[in-house]
Chain A
Amino acid sequence: MNQIEYTNENIKFLKDIFRKYYFENKYFPYLYSIEKREFGYRKFDSLVVRHLSFKNIGELVVELVRNVPLDVYYSNAYYGFPSNPINEKQWEGADLIFDIDIKDLNIPCFHEHTYYICNLCGFVNSEQKLCVNCNKGKTYDISIPCKRCFTAIKKEAAKLLEFLRSDLGIEEKFIEVFFSGNAGFHFHVNDPGMRNLDSNSRSSVTDYIIGNGFMCESIGVRKYRNGFMIKLPKSGIMNGWRKKIASSFGINQKSELKLKHLVEASGGYDGFRNEINRITKKFGVHIDSQVTNDIHRVFRLPGSINGKSGLTKTKCDDLESFNPNNDACMLDDSEVYINLKTKLKINLKNNNFKLDNVLEKVPSYVAVYLVCKGLATISKNQ
Chain B
Amino acid sequence: MSIKLGSSELAKYPFLQEASDYIQETKFDFAEFDRPEMIHIINRAVEKLENELKGKIYSNLDEYEIEIMTFLVSLLLIKSIGLEEVSKKCSLFEAMRVERFLSTDLSVERSSQKKKLLVQKIFQDLFDINIDVDSTSSICKLSVPDYLLRASKMYEQEWKLINRSVKDGYVYLDTDEAVRLIRNELSNLIYTRVKNMKVYEVPILIKSKADELRKKYSGRYVYRNQFKILEYPPCIKHAMEIINKGENLPHSARFMLATYMLAIGKTEEEVIEIFKNSPDYNEKITRYQVEHLAGKKGSHIKYSVPSCDRLRSEDLCFAVKECENLINPIQFGRRKLT
**A359 vs B158: C-alpha distance in the bound complex, in angstroms?**
61
- Whether A207 lies near B152 (C-beta < 8 A) is no
Beyond A211-B162, A240-B165, 6 extra complex contacts between A and B, CB < 8 Å: A197-B148, A203-B152, A204-B162, A207-B162, A208-B160, A233-B174
Q: Are A235 and B169 within 8 A (Cβ)?
A: no
User: What distance in Å separates the Cβ of B173 from its nearest Cβ neighbour in chain A?
Assistant: 6
Q: Which of B143, B157, B162, B172 interacts with A241 by CB under 8 Å? A: B162
Complex interface: stretch among A64-72, A162-170, A329-337: A162-170
A242 / chain B contacts, CB cutoff of 8 Å: 165
- Smallest CB–CB gap between A273 and chain B, Å? 12
Q: Are A212 and B162 in contact (CB under 8 A)?
A: yes
- Chain B nearest CB, measured from A244 CB (Å): 10
Residues of B within 8 Å of A, CB-based: how many?
Answer: 27
A197 with B145: in contact, given A207-B161, A215-B158 (CB under 8 Å)?
Answer: yes
Q: Closest B residue to A204 by CB, please name it.
A: B161
Give the distance in Å from the alpha carbon of A213 to the alpha carbon of B174 in the complex: 21
* CB <8 Å contact, A215 and B163: yes
Find chain B residues with CB under 8 A from A357 CB: none
CA distance A211 to B166 in the complex (A): 13
Name 20 A/B residue pairs within 8 A (Cβ), A-sorted: A166-B168, A169-B144, A169-B168, A169-B170, A193-B143, A196-B145, A196-B149, A197-B145, A198-B152, A200-B153, A203-B152, A205-B148, A208-B162, A213-B163, A214-B163, A218-B164, A235-B173, A240-B164, A240-B165, A240-B167
Cβ–Cβ contact B165 & A235, under 8 A? yes
B246 to chain A, nearest CB (A): 20
Whether B151 is near chain A, meaning CB under 8 Å from some CB there, is yes
A218 x B163 contact (CB < 8 A) = yes
A207 to B143, CA, bound (A): 18
The 3 closest A-B pairs by CB, nearest first: A169-B169, A240-B166, A200-B152
Chain B residues with CB under 8 Å of A194's CB are 145
Within 8 A of B (CB), among A154-181: 166-170
Q: Does B139 contact A (CB under 8 A)?
A: yes
Bound-complex Cα distance A150 to B165 (A): 33
Confirm or deny: B177 has a beta carbon within 8 angstroms of a beta carbon on chain A: yes
A217 interface residue per 8 A CB criterion: yes
Residue among B149, B160, B165, B166 making CB contact with A197, cutoff 8 Å: B149
Please give, as numbers and ranges, the residues of chain B lying within 8 Å of A203 by CB-CB distance: 152
Q: Does A201 have its Cβ within 8 Å of any Cβ on chain B?
A: yes
Residue in B closest to A211 when the chains form the complex, CB atoms: B162
